[in-house]
Chain A
């Protein structure tokens, strides 16, 4: 079973879980809470858009964003000269519990990296956001069964990133281990940044040059290793986002012939992308996941995509619409599916 299918099954479990109701109540209260605590008259329209929520959502790290925003409350207050409400203990505990669930699931996947490679922490999608919630060895998932998590683990074993790492000769591990976590994270950051800045319809030209250079200079293995780590980390992030959205939505937002004004698609080194123009229907932010049913495609199944940018235009002369750029997520939950294929190298 593919990672995507296993992830959808986990989402179904989340939707049926009693924890979901608690989360829904909490999220409503978090937004309502601010109105009471701030003590200022807020326009009703602005209520849900306070600085703390914006900061939390902008970080794109699911529930953890609220914990980060809460920890940086004083800094936000100082910077924006506004009062920012503190999370209640009850909400803090629930958010921590949810974050532990994510860490627990992620650890299962991260541990698939061969034990004699040292770069586990680079696979953690939360690694650059501090340690507000740390790994708890005694934690047991209240959401998913061991069988479900085993299925997830075995599906991730077939992830192209792990497959590529598996092809690297073991005697080269010591060389790879000489690269520090920091350098790997920096390289990941530079590559993902390049890919995001190039947009969804093309790939960054300098990246293509880097790949060609790596091939010429016989540096394919370290580059492929770094790309593999980057793709696995992105897949873990996508999995977390999918589970997060299952807590908040019954169905992913869908773009199909009932709301699309125009659609263009592109395939390139970075993967596949869509540029859409749709009727304004959903309030979306970057890295939210959506489904696209391309009316020009003979495949009637929804394609999982990640929002890269969403721009809403309101106009009383020509009507409103939303411009969206989407990156297609593959069966491995990887938004950069073309990257690993780009380094076609035969290991001796």
Chain B
């Protein structure tokens, strides 16, 4: 009964646009774990932007480093292509080496995560003049369906590709299959549990400085201590 209820809920929320043509390349472009192989294979930018989460003592900031995403430096408007970006993030702050993103107070996590727990922001597609946001799960299912269809009904295309590919795309397809095998059950579990569950010991892309004393913390402590000594304001540090 619970499984059935979850299935109904799942069918209600999945979105797959009808009447639009999708290429495997497009589907691969939004899968975080394929990002490096995708960019090496096709020499083009993928549609996911890697995020570094920095946890500070009194706030959390997300940053995009230009060395990981150089095309963002040339095209800052790229962030506008992220679905619900404005609803969930404050105005981005562009600095020399990176972009800082502050979450809105009532923020919803719109990121997608790699198997190693690294956060990415997914760009939406432009299809028939509309902004289309494809979920990771649907992208994987569609990719698998496409590959299954190709191997079953078009062996004249599939077999030479498997036997003679020298472009490296075959390796990307293999990686896609292994990522899907590992990721799809995890995504379904996340959906059922309404949580981001990672089966890893150490999460990638998170810098935790909550228990580190930074220079700005020292400045604050000195200021507060002085205020306490001079005016009796605030708390005395032990």
Contacts and interface: CB of A to CB of B under 8 A. Distances in A.
B237 interface: no
A116 interface: no
A260 B105 contact: yes
Contacts of A258: 90-91, 104
Nearest to B209: A318
Contact of A279 (B90, B97, B106): B90
Interface string B122-157: 000000000000000000000000000000000000
A191 to B, nearest CB: 15
B233 A279 contact: no
Contact of B90 (A197, A261, A295): A261
Contacts of A343: none
A254 B103 CA distance: 18
A318 B100 contact: yes
Contacts of B100: 318-320
A133 interface: no
A319 B90 contact: no
A296 B104 CA distance: 12
A159 interface: no
A197 B91 contact: no
Contact of B59 (A199, A261, A295, A296): A261
Nearest to A294: B105
A277 interface: yes
Contact of A263 (B58, B103, B105, B231): B105
Interface in A274-320: 277, 279, 295-296, 313, 315-316, 318-320
Interface residues of B, number: 23
Contacts of A277: 58-59
A257 B233 contact: no
Decide if the interface of chain B is mainly helix, strand, loop or mixed.
Answer: loop
A262 interface: yes
Given A257-B105, A257-B106, A279-B102, A319 B97 contact: no
Interface residues of A, number: 21
Contacts of B96: 316
B76 interface: no
Nearest to B86: A258
A320 B93 contact: yes
Given A197-B232, A318-B61, A319-B100, A295 B93 contact: no
Contacts, number: 56
Interface string A197-218: 1110000000000000000000
B91 A319 contact: no
B81 to A, nearest CB: 20
Interface in B66-112: 90-91, 93, 95-97, 100, 102-106
B202 interface: no
B59 A315 contact: no
Contacts of B232: 197
B54 A295 contact: no
Contacts of A296: 105
Given A277-B58, A277-B59, A279-B90, A321 B105 contact: no
A261 B54 CA distance: 14
B90 A315 contact: no
B166 to A, nearest CB: 44
A262 B59 contact: yes
Given A197-B231, A261-B102, A313-B216, A318 B90 contact: no
5 contacts: A197-B232, A261-B59, A262-B59, A316-B96, A321-B102
Given A258-B104, A261-B90, A318-B100, 8 more contacts: A197-B232, A199-B233, A199-B234, A258-B90, A261-B59, A262-B59, A277-B58, A318-B56
